[in-house]
Amino acid sequence: MLILITYDVNTQTASGRKRLQKVAKQCVNYGQRVQNSVFECQLDSVKYREVREKLENLIDKDTDSLRFYNLGDKYKSKVEHIGAKPGFDVTEPLIFFD
Amino acid sequence: MLILITYDVNTQTASGRKRLQKVAKQCVNYGQRVQNSVFECQLDSVKYREVREKLENLIDKDTDSLRFYNLGDKYKSKVEHIGAKPGFDVTEPLIFFD
**What interface predicted TM-score (ipTM) does this complex get?**
0.85
The torsion angles phi and psi of B55, rounded to 5 degrees, stand at: -70, -40
**B67-83 residue pLDDT tens:** 999 999 999 899 999 99
pLDDT, residue B97, reads 47
User: B56 to chain A: nearest residue by CA?
Assistant: A82
Cβ of B82 within 8 Å of Cβ of A70? The answer is no
B56: CB partners within 8 A, 6+ apart: A82, A83, B66
Domains of chain A: 2-72 (3.30.70.240)
Mean pLDDT of A60-79: 95
pLDDT of amino acid B86 = 57
Instruction: Could you list the residues of A known to form a binding site for Mg(2+), using ranges.
Output: 8
Please give the annotated binding residues of B for Mg(2+), written as ranges: 8
What pTM was computed for the model? Answer: 0.86
CB B4 within 8 A of CB A69: yes
Say if CB B8 and CB B65 are below 8 A apart. Answer: yes
Closest CA to B22 of B62, B70, B66: B66
Measured CA to CA, the distance from residue A1 to residue A67 in angstroms comes to 16
Please state, in angstroms and rounded to a whole number, the distance separating the CA atoms of residues A50 and A38: 18
Q: Which of B10, B42, B6 is nearest to B24 (CA)?
A: B6
DSSP A97: -
Q: With contacts defined as CB-CB under 8 Å, which chain B residues touch A68? A: 79-82
